[in-house]
Structure 1
Amino acid sequence: MTIKNDQIYINQILKGDANAFAFLVEKYKIMVFTLALKMLKSREEAEEISQDTFIKAYKNIDKFKGDAKFSTWLYKIAYRTCLDSIKKNSKKYQTGTIDEITINKIKSTEGVLDSIERKERAEIINKCLIELPEDERSVIWLFYFEELSLKEIIDITDLSEANVKVKLHRARKRLLTIVEKRVEPELINHYGRK
């Protein structure tokens, strides 16, 4: 039903009704802003990217063919706009490398996370996500928080299925390493014994 609703507004826009675009902006503005904020780590830049995304979408609405959902097409525009901004400001977004960790450490850290209260876990994960490289953070965000399918992520990022899976795998490992470093050792010991 929402895909049909989107198409109704898209058809109105194509017929010259610029006001119909306001519906799509209202419907997807939080989605676009959230992706930009997760990738860029700056509210101000995320707002600019959101505006740029909607301007590009409006100017190119005739290129939307309906092969995928409108939200996927819009995500793709937002994702690429973020990448362009990151490339333009690459010094600002450099991230240090993180050492690889063993499977045992992954399992023990997962056990710790499962034991921590949901709210605490969400706060920890959110702070740790910011430390991931942009490409991994965005793939994790799209998959786990936006609950997009692999196919939708592939469509948005133009990466191969294998590449998306590798990025997800690496991002999970890095995220667990970051979580392990952030969570106080006493907390790990306390919850790890349960």
Structure 2
Amino acid sequence: MTTSTDHQLINNTLHGNTQAFSVLVERYQNFVFTIAVRMLRNREEAEEVAQDSFIKAFEALSTYRGEAKFSSWLYSIVYRKTLDRIRKNNNSRTIELVEEITETETEDIENALHFIQIQERNELIKKGIEQLPEQEAAIITFFYFEELSIKEISEITQLSEDNVKIKLFRSRKKLFTLLKYYVLPQYTNNNGSAI
């Protein structure tokens, strides 16, 4: 059995087959929820935003032109819905990590992460992402977990490509600063150099 493409499912939905849209929901619900929960840091609110995003996508489906991937179009909806919820809650986090991280420390962190089991590594990275400001958490997630290009992230977030690059660079440094406390103590000898 072949899997329908997003475009086939969209066409079927637009021609009255609402079951086709539920396949799209199933296909993207995990990542839509991931974006919402990483920005909101609240499961219940993230579930509501994810649901609202799919409703909005369904209602606006006829406006989707196919110029960008459907996933990017959908992620821009969830990103904006999540930002709206954050503004509504007015509880934007203002964590600023001032500590600079050197290139050597970045390499040490990457080496240490390499030796940690994949599941544990992903958990550590998720914990680190949860400490980042909402927008940076979303950009890191789009780039590393969904492997979207700078251009696609720019379209989703409506930030310039240069701005996305700057935010990606800064959030990566912040993430490594956070990860340093999780991984480096376990992988250093008494001299402080990586094992």
Q: TM-score, normalised by structure 2?
A: 0.87
Are residues 1:141 and 2:149 paired? no
* Aligned residue in 2 for 1:94: 93
Q: Do the aligned partners of residues 81 and 48 (structure 1) sit closer, same or farther apart at CA in structure 2, a change above 3 Å counting?
A: same
Name stretches of at least 5 consecutive residues in structure 1 with no aligned partner: none
Name stretches of at least 5 consecutive residues in structure 2 with no aligned partner: none
How far is 1:183 from its partner? 4.1
Q: Name the SS for the 1:55 alignment partner.
A: helix
Q: Do the aligned partners of residues 110 and 24 (structure 1) sit closer, same or farther apart at CA in structure 2, a change above 3 Å counting?
A: closer
Q: Name the SS for the 1:101 alignment partner.
A: coil
* Aligned residue in 1 for 2:151: 151
* Aligned residue in 1 for 2:188: 189
Which protein has the bigger helix share? 1
How far apart in 1 are the matches of 2:83 and 2:46?
12
* Aligned residue in 2 for 1:173: 173
Matched-pair contact (CA < 8 Å) for 1:100–1:173: no
Alignment length, in residue pairs?
191
Q: Do the aligned partners of residues 58 and 119 (structure 1) sit closer, same or farther apart at CA in structure 2, a change above 3 Å counting?
A: closer
Post-superposition Cα deviations, 1:79-99, rounded to whole Å, max 9, x if no partner, equal: 1111111111122x4232111
Matched-pair contact (CA < 8 Å) for 1:95–1:131: no
How far apart in 2 are the matches of 1:152 and 1:11?
23
Matched-pair contact (CA < 8 Å) for 2:101–2:177: no
How far is 1:20 from its partner? 2.7
Sequence identity of aligned pairs in percent?
A: 46
Post-superposition Cα deviations, 1:106-153, rounded to whole Å, max 9, x if no partner, equal: 344334333444343222212111001111111111111111122221
How far apart in 2 are the matches of 1:125 and 1:80?
24
Q: What aligned pairs does 1:67-106 form with structure 2 within 5 A after superposition?
A: 67-91=67-91, 93-103=92-102, 104-106=104-106
Q: Name the SS for the 2:5 alignment partner.
A: helix
* Aligned residue in 1 for 2:112: 112
Q: How much is the aligned-residue C-alpha RMSD, in angstroms?
A: 2.2
Matched-pair contact (CA < 8 Å) for 1:139–1:164: yes
Matched-pair contact (CA < 8 Å) for 1:112–1:192: no
Q: Do the aligned partners of residues 120 and 19 (structure 1) sit closer, same or farther apart at CA in structure 2, a change above 3 Å counting?
A: closer
